[in-house]
Amino acid sequence: MNAEDSGSTQPSRRNGPLHGTRILAISQFGAGPFATQNLVDLGAEVIKIEDPLTSGDVARFVPPVSEKGDSLYFQAFNRGKKSIAIDFRSDQGLSVFHKLVKISDAVFNNLRGDLPAKLGLTYEDLRHLNLGIVTCSLSGFGRTGPRADEPGYDAIMQGLAGYMSITGEPEAPPAKSGVSIIDFAGGYAAALGLVAALVDAKSTGIGRDVDVSLLDTAVAMLTYLGSWQMNSDWEPSRSPDSAHQTLVPAQNFQTSDGWIVIFCAKEHFWQSLAELIGMPLLISDERFATFADRHKNREVLLPILSERLGEKSSEEWLNLFRGKVPSAPVNTIKQALEDEQVRARGLVVNVEHPSNGMIRLITSSILTEGANESVTPGPALGEHTDQILSELLGFDETEINVLRDQGAIG
């Protein structure tokens, strides 16, 4: 099996840019673990702190493929991490956590917004242990405001932030994205905030709190839609065939055997499209001369394009358009993961799982030398408890057994 087939790459001689950075992660499900998965792929050591009394991260039990406290969902977000099982309700367990804080660079959580302060996970709570510690919180609504004590999830944010009002067909009910885009964008935002704080702590020796919320991330990503809404009389709405709000043509088109997406974001792309479909007269037609003209007369233009594009197969059109008109097939997930560009970029890696054999997982989208080399599976609950206590904190076997008898660790 060659590197392209396996999705693997030759190991770098350099470490990832976050090598030597230790992050304690009190997080579960999707958004938080996605944030720290990206940090692992950039070279950080992430120690996942799990509650032994609740069987750890709830992601371990998410279907469709789940058994014995592990799942493919969990594996997707926790590759290359270590797991220590600590009961924070125990004074002895809390003491173990505090010892880890002293030798770590950051503490990350994705708890409800009011919980970091209640559980002693803020910078103010931990600075006496480590002045340079960075504490990052990724929550549904943030640590302040009237909804800080409420749980929040991706779908809730897509509804609240207006995403569902512009997603789907005009006559259909409001729809959410098929991918948890707010969860994952929030994960990226939290990872960026944490790394920025680490850079500052490295130069000043003083850490800080980083407060990121899913709602804030969702609203921030409204960008130009929000600008148009607040500063003009334009009203966003759902567009047929997943069309862009103002650019034409920039949408899905049905071919003779499927669907393709075309995105003419520059005038020369529009001109190339008209020529390649054999309708060059559209270029000189005053009704379609500019972005504004094509938007104004889209009810005339789009049926013309749709009829023409329906005459050939997706493959035929895409072969003509490649490199000249931004375009792509409307793939299934299976087709997307088999795409030649995805394979060439090494975005899928093989991971040897202790009970499931070889499984395939997706790496971080950030490609740099020394990154994306963590190919060990997501850990079993508490798998590294003894190793962390002995190698990092200097506990001997007797002391570890006492902690376990006390219920401080799993």
- CATH number where 199 lies: 3.40.50.10540
Is 187 part of a structural domain of the chain? Answer: yes
Identify whether the C-beta of residue 88 lies closer than 8 Å to the C-beta of residue 181. Answer: no
- Residue 209 sits in the same domain as residue 320: no
Q: What is the pLDDT of residue 13?
A: 76
- Residue 175 sits in the same domain as residue 87: yes
Is 410 part of a structural domain of the chain? Answer: no
- CATH number where 269 lies: 3.30.1540.10
Q: What is the pLDDT of residue 12?
A: 62
Q: Which of 329, 362, 383 is the last residue of a domain?
A: 329
Query: What is the number of domains present in the chain?
Result: 2
- Residue 88 sits in the same domain as residue 183: yes
Is 341 part of a structural domain of the chain? Answer: no
Q: Distance between CA atoms of 102 and 130, rounded to whole angstroms?
A: 5
Q: Distance between CA atoms of 140 and 216, rounded to whole angstroms?
A: 9
- Residue 168 sits in the same domain as residue 46: yes
- Residue 273 sits in the same domain as residue 397: no
Is 234 part of a structural domain of the chain? Answer: no
- Residue 365 sits in the same domain as residue 316: no
**Sign, CA torsion 303/309/310/311:** positive
pLDDT along the chain (410 residues), means of 10: 42 86 96 97 97 94 92 96 96 97 98 97 98 98 97 97 95 94 98 98 98 98 96 92 96 98 98 98 97 97 98 98 98 96 94 92 94 92 97 96 94
Q: What is the pLDDT of residue 3?
A: 35
Q: Distance between CA atoms of 351 and 80, rounded to whole angstroms?
A: 10
Which of 125, 119, 124, 161 is closest to 140 using CA atoms?
161
- 57: annotated active-site residue: no
- Residue 111 sits in the same domain as residue 198: yes
Residue in the block written with tokens 């394979």: 343
- Residue 196 sits in the same domain as residue 286: no
pTM of the model: 0.92
Write out the residue range of the structural domain in which residue 305 sits.
241-254+259-329
Is 386 part of a structural domain of the chain? Answer: yes
Is 227 part of a structural domain of the chain? Answer: no
Candidates 183, 209, 211, 216; catalytic one:
183
Which CB contacts under 8 angstroms, 24+ apart, belong to 319-324?
A: 320/276, 321/262, 321/272, 321/273, 321/276, 324/269, 324/272, 324/276
CA distances to 149, 174, 347, 362 from 139, in Å: 10, 25, 28, 24
Six-digit token string for 78: 């926790």
- Residue 264 sits in the same domain as residue 315: yes
β-pairing, 259-263 vs 250-254, is antiparallel
- Residue 146 sits in the same domain as residue 54: yes
Q: Which of 297, 329, 361 is the last residue of a domain?
A: 329
Q: Which of 268, 302, 329 is the last residue of a domain?
A: 329
- Amino acid at the residue 306: S
- Residue 270 sits in the same domain as residue 310: yes
Is 382 part of a structural domain of the chain? Answer: yes
Is 391 part of a structural domain of the chain? Answer: yes
211 DSSP β-pair partners? 137
- Residue 87 sits in the same domain as residue 11: yes
